[in-house]
Chains A and B, each alone.
Chain A
């Protein structure tokens, strides 16, 4: 007989899948240990642990940066005390689906910069790719190691009302957030040691080693240990915390552009003891900024000659410049077809249904249903520029409609989803809050997917916006093996 624990008085929103309980507020099997802890210790103890957790985060210096009034402000990273639990059996299929997706996307990118078979076969409209500002001509005719362009991918997943994982978007340029996934776990282990002792929670802490192994596998040199560096725009960048964290955890130098230079198509690091050859660069700078000789001439963050060294095969860059061509929200709509085309497999994870405004019929549908849809610009990140139809004012909808008519290629629309929720501590009470999930997938010589990922939670009641720059929080994500 399995144990039945109701998380009273907590009740999920009707129509939304809750990660911890079913529609009656009864804990799901993978959430039993967490539910037991909550019911035995009460909200007061949870609040005490939350305070302890906040203190730990401050002491660990886990922060994120928000830009406000042209100033950078460091804020303590927000982490909710209640973990999100996912059954290992659920996760296995999802993780396979994520690897499948990245594999197909990489075949796609490599095809676009070389033979363009998929365009010739009419699976993806040529002009969609060739006119995209993310299609970087200087990358054509090149094949990186293993023909893999996007080595690090952060895929945003949501669950629909039935609890099915759907892909919301692929981040193939410089996806961030993995450091917070790692730090969330470190903090939770300090604050809830007893829960870790009682459950089988999938570990996440091998990520830095996996990342380094993947990066090292890209090295063009055969000999010894390759020299891998992390390239950051500098301490004023909003993700600097993560850059320095990953460099520290991998044991790599954290370089700014001026720490690197190119001589005779080889890249060197300026160290105290003289120049050192660099084999692999994990760039955390947008690709159009990395070489002023090839891309943006005005870039003060770039390394002149870097693309030349890359094309000469003397240094690997991850993610490869030009990878962004596949993380366009219009291309996104074609990913299921892309998977079928290259892998001859059905996608293991579905997309969120998506309307393309470039299609006349679909655009008419979007314009007629703006009050029901979420409209997204094709090329923004961080949740900026999104219109959530049902919550927008008439004026905002009118502005959005005009923008769509002006440049239909730049917009997609999706139905407003009932994002899944999880109990979240709000003013000392547990309330449902919407969340998403960003796992990180690595591809070099082999494929790897994190155990879970970074769960981001919208802290305002009913809100769907999970971005930390816009008031979102986070949860530790536990992949739980609870037996059969």
Chain B
């Protein structure tokens, strides 16, 4: 494939995954709120934290209400964290690489974009919002399904997959980190809510049932952090994402740097039993994994995707 468009393919994968993840996160958080007791204090801007944006600036602008945050995460075209923004990026990138993707895949992305443009409005009721997010997830999955069923297993497919799984691993660690940081904060009543939060996280990943089976079937002192970071069979675990990235990266040129950073992240995860880590140690580990993912991205862009000099 052309060196110029390689990055477009990668970003197309990342943004498509981000759309899906963001919609899941929104629904899971809302569900958690429905489950929690009347008067429980939960701050919506935490969601913006997860998505890596500047919460403080946002709160100061006075938009920290549920609707304000949802506007920011779903509708706002100028918000880098919004579903609408991610979708526009998916389509813009697809438009630049249309010649390397099958017609059905292009049509799928195009339909997704039309849907988001016309339907992604600020839902006043939580029920409506739930349905909207569920539809976004369904449509993202439809696009991925079309890709899976039609695309040649070539560089394009590989890069698209690397983008998707890098974004997914990134999102898994971000969500974890925010929950861990919440436990570090000395606010009253945290302890009783912790399980709500972890189960909402599993919910966001469509993993509640999988985790129950893992919990009852796997021996040893493992817990939810093992499941999310190192359990290969779970497709949203960091370990599973790394494996998929590695499999695709092997076919890329100049992939030594990418493969090396994957090894580094694995080493960090394997260095000590996760259940023995206290909250602070866990936070540090997540930080290391995230730094590793940033290195992975850097190695990909600056080495694998740079056309060799003529």
Contacts and interface: CB of A to CB of B under 8 A. Distances in A.
A60 B110 contact: yes
A270 B310 CA distance: 8
A235 interface: yes
Interface in A81-96: none
B61 to A, nearest CB: 30
A235 B98 CA distance: 11
Given A59-B107, A59-B111, A271 B2 contact: yes
B98 A248 contact: yes
Contacts of B114: 58-59
A327 interface: no
A244 B99 contact: yes
Contact of A272 (B6, B103, B107, B111): B6
Contacts, number: 68
B305 A272 contact: yes
B301 interface: no
B253 A274 contact: yes
Nearest to B1: A272
Residue of A248, A252, A261, A268 with most chain B CB atoms under a 10 A cut-off: A248
A382 interface: no
Given A235-B95, A261-B310, A270 B2 contact: yes
Contacts of A273: 253
A256 B101 CA distance: 18
Interface in A233-276: 235, 244-245, 247-248, 252-256, 258-259, 261, 263, 268-275
A245 B99 CA distance: 7
Contacts of A353: none
A247 B99 contact: yes
Contact of A244 (B2, B6, B95): B95
Contacts of A269: 2
Contacts of A60: 107, 110
Contacts of B155: 272
A61 B92 CA distance: 12
A61 B99 contact: no
B96 interface: yes
A356 B106 CA distance: 48
Contact of A61 (B1, B4, B107): B107
A58 B99 CA distance: 19
A272 B98 contact: no
A263 B2 contact: no
Contact of A271 (B3, B103, B106): B3
B99 A271 contact: no
A226 B98 CA distance: 22
Interface string A208-244: 0000000000000000000000100001000000001
B252 interface: yes
A270 B5 CA distance: 11
A269 B253 CA distance: 16
B148 to A, nearest CB: 19
B14 to A, nearest CB: 18
A259 B99 contact: no
Interface in A51-103: 58-61
Contacts of B101: 248
A272 B3 CA distance: 5
Nearest to A263: B310
Nearest to B110: A61
A335 B4 CA distance: 43
A253 B310 contact: no
A382 to B, nearest CB: 23
B291 interface: no
Contact of A248 (B1, B99, B253): B99
Interface string A266-306: 00111111110000000000000000000000000000000
A244 B110 contact: no
A255 B3 CA distance: 10
A253 B100 CA distance: 8
Contact of A270 (B4, B252, B253): B4
Contacts of A271: 1-3, 307
Given A255-B2, A271-B3, A272-B3, A235 B96 contact: yes
B107 A253 contact: no
A252 B99 contact: yes
A245 B98 contact: yes
B189 interface: no
Interface in B109-132: 110-111, 114
Interface string B1-41: 11110100000000000000000000000000000000000
A244 B1 contact: no
A256 B111 contact: no
B253 A272 contact: yes
Nearest to B102: A248
A268 B308 CA distance: 13
Given A255-B2, A273-B253, A274-B253, A244 B98 contact: yes
Q: Which of B98, B100, B101, B304 gathers the greatest number of chain A CB atoms within 10 Å?
A: B98
A274 B155 CA distance: 13
A272 B2 contact: yes
A159 B271 CA distance: 80
B254 to A, nearest CB: 9
Given A244-B95, A248-B103, A59 B110 contact: yes
Given A272-B2, A274-B307, 12 more contacts: A59-B110, A244-B95, A244-B98, A247-B99, A248-B98, A248-B103, A252-B99, A253-B2, A254-B99, A270-B307, A270-B310, A272-B6
Interface of A: 58-61, 230, 235, 244-245, 247-248, 252-256, 258-259, 261, 263, 268-275
8 contacts: A235-B96, A245-B98, A248-B106, A253-B2, A255-B2, A271-B1, A273-B253, A274-B253
Ranked 9 nearest A-B pairs via Cβ:
A247-B99, A61-B110, A244-B98, A254-B99, A270-B307, A248-B99, A59-B111, A270-B3, A274-B308
